[in-house]
Amino acid sequence: MINDLPSGVIHVKDLYLWSHVGVLEQERLHGQEFLLDFSLWLNMEHVSEQDNISCTADYSLGILDLQQYAFTIECQTIEYYSELILNRLESLYGSVPMKVFLRKCFAPVQGFDGTVGVERTRHFPHS
């Protein structure tokens, strides 16, 4: 019997995106910078043994797709934006366990220079 449980994870970190997301009209009108981390949990037994890309998830597809998709996004909340990203990743990779961490690089809060982020998961078994 082949073990279909995830035996590894692919992490993509600091994917730069430009989207029209924010509560303020100027954020949606002019757009702004976001950073995205996404992770895909996969069974890596076959690719580890065979070095065959068809046995794994091609992360370059997700990177390129999300970069292009980001330009089309216009919404108010990063929570909703993160849901759109999860939907997009699922359409590319199927129902694998996944996690996204989406960060707004310049939140419009006076005196605050940090990032604001939302972390979401999908297709993880419930504990």
- pLDDT, one tens digit per residue, over 21-69 is 999 999 999 999 999 999 999 999 888 888 888 889 999 999 999 999 9
Between CA 87 and CA 106 the distance in angstroms is: 25
- pLDDT, one tens digit per residue, over 87-105 is 999 999 999 999 999 999 9
How far is Cα of residue 101 from the mean position of the Cα atoms in its chain? 6
For the whole model, what pTM was predicted?
0.91
4: tokens are 């279909």
* Domain architecture of the chain: domains with CATH: 8-122 (3.30.1130.10)
Going by the DSSP 8-state scheme, the letter that residue 71 receives in this structure is: T
Q: Considering only CA atoms, which of 9, 36, 35, 16 is closest in space to residue 98? A: 9
Res 2 pLDDT > 60: no
Res 3 pLDDT > 90: no
